[in-house]
Chain A
Amino acid sequence: MLRSSGLSVPAVPERVEHVQQDWDRWRELLGSATDERAAQPGRICELCIPMLAVTGAGISMLTPEGNGVVVCATDDVASAIEDLQFSLGVGPCVDAVQRGAPVLIPDLDDPRDVSVERWPAFMEAAARTGVQALFAFPLRVGAVTVGALDLYRDRPGELDAQQLGGALFAADAAALALVHLDTGLPVESPSTGYASYHLQVHQATGMVQVQLAVGAQEALVRLRARAFALGRTLEGLADDIVQRRIRFTAED
């Protein structure tokens, strides 16, 4: 089942010479959009194409029940890859989510990751779409996996160290974007990921989770909403929570 995005597979630049290990560049690109698309899943996917020299990208969200929902895809093929995995219930992104680690298949004809042997149907179907390399990353808020980022190439080839670092950065930003999707909260600019927050923010997330009897994902949204409403930094609010100067109650 293909999305009706009307996009065809875009031509891939032979080699993106100017891709450089430049995190400021990622932050700038994610933070520069003046509209509400800054650091949104769709924009993150689009940026992956030039920044990581991939053909296309897609982001899926996991529902609390463990079902996948495609949030965005840059083209029909990326969309088909996401849909395939959810209909078959197997594939690199499903595995990445379960393992909590990236699954990298630089050449579908010569997969070095033995896990592909467990999904012959997916591999066959993926090959028919013209995909030659596939990389899946779990989107995590600490212990909780909220979705996955899939990148593909229409030619074989590994992500080099720099591209892998970029993909991990994109995954961190995408995790935060998914958590805040539809919450009406402004995205941070320049964008950072959950993993780059101070340790007290993670501790406070755990505390608020218990105070409100919600999951880590919801606790983080409530933390950010409160910090925003108070005009405070997340770090400052987290410190008050850890030092037990502020508590969240069900009425909050």
Chain B
Amino acid sequence: MTHSDDTVGVGQTRAGALAAVFVSLADTLVDDYDVVDLLDQLVRACVDLLGVTAAGLLLDDQHGHLRVVASSGEAPHLLEVFQLQNDEGPCLDCVRSGVEVITGDLATQSERWPLFAPAAIEAGFRSVVAVPMRLRNETVGGLNLFDAWPNVLGAEDRRLAQALADVATIGILQQRSTHRSTMLVEQLQHALNSRVVIEQAKGVLAERNDLEMGAAFDLLRGHARANNAKLTDVANSIVRGELTLDG
């Protein structure tokens, strides 16, 4: 398969969508942005552009754990499969080796990943591509692309995935670098802590307004957008009881 086949076949729509995504990401990066909001946009863009079933970003917390910092969906089984990779799985292999890991059909991979492969299949997935988030000679995390089918993303799609993973890495490094020179470990921690605050706020909203987690996140993000506020700031106010949202 050549690249031109792809572009001719899929035509302008994908090129247009791709351009829109990168324009939006570039707009975000030059502004004062919220890192988790950016990473959430990125994983959703992966699902749209690459046609995968689900996408997630896992960061190395520099304490020996991989932690979920963005997920394209809220389903508990999806989060579980992402989180399972703390112990074993393509993302862990990818972060350790610094190179892309392509699983092929997970149904044939239970020897390689005795925990991960059956759990992922049980959750409805049949293949994974894990792309490293690289910074010079360090790997700080991985972008996971989960598919309900065993067929594998083509080379062009994987290059695009790598470009999106690189944007995510840049996004994490750029945040809050205005204060002073900050170290990578601090940037990673900040992104991970923002995720924690947002999950707490989703819990508060879900309970108070009787919403599913996905709807709670939409409410949170909708309020942040409408008020031109950062997602994490809004989430902080909600958890501390300084702000209540109706929805």
A: residues with CB less than 8 A from B are 23-24, 26, 100-102, 112-113, 140, 142-144, 161, 164-165, 168-169, 172, 194-196, 198-200, 202-211, 215-216, 239, 242-243
Contacts and interface: CB of A to CB of B under 8 A. Distances in A.
A23 B63 contact: yes
A101 B176 contact: yes
B37 interface: no
B203 A196 contact: no
Chain B facing A: main interface SS: helix
Interface string B184-224: 11100110110111011111111110000100000000000
A24 B64 contact: yes
22 contacts: A24-B64, A113-B180, A142-B239, A143-B200, A143-B201, A143-B239, A165-B62, A168-B189, A195-B193, A195-B196, A202-B203, A204-B203, A205-B200, A205-B203, A206-B201, A206-B204, A206-B206, A206-B239, A209-B203, A209-B239, A216-B200, A242-B76
Max chain A CB contacts within 10 Å: which of B192, B204, B205, B240? Answer: B204
B200 A203 contact: yes
A168 B184 CA distance: 12
B41 interface: no
Contacts of B197: 142-143
A210 B245 CA distance: 13
A195 B188 CA distance: 12
Contacts of A24: 64
A195 B68 CA distance: 11
Contacts of B206: 203, 206-207, 242
Contacts of B64: 23-24
A151 to B, nearest CB: 15
Contacts of B226: none
A229 to B, nearest CB: 21
Contacts of A168: 62-63, 185-186, 189
A140 to B, nearest CB: 7
Given A23-B63, A209-B204, 8 more contacts: A142-B200, A143-B236, A168-B186, A168-B189, A203-B199, A206-B205, A210-B204, A210-B208
A208 B200 CA distance: 10
B213 A203 contact: yes
B244 to A, nearest CB: 10
Nearest to B79: A199
B158 interface: no
B67 interface: yes
Nearest to A211: B207
B179 interface: yes
B200 A198 contact: no
Max chain A CB contacts within 10 Å: which of B62, B79, B207? Answer: B207
Contacts of A206: 199-207, 239
Nearest to B208: A210
B240 A143 contact: yes
A242 B213 contact: yes
B235 A143 contact: yes
Nearest to A173: B63
Given A143-B235, A206-B203, A210-B207, A196 B186 contact: no
A203 B71 CA distance: 14
Contacts of B65: 196
A243 B201 CA distance: 16
A168 B192 CA distance: 12
B243 to A, nearest CB: 11
Nearest to B185: A165
Contacts of B238: 143
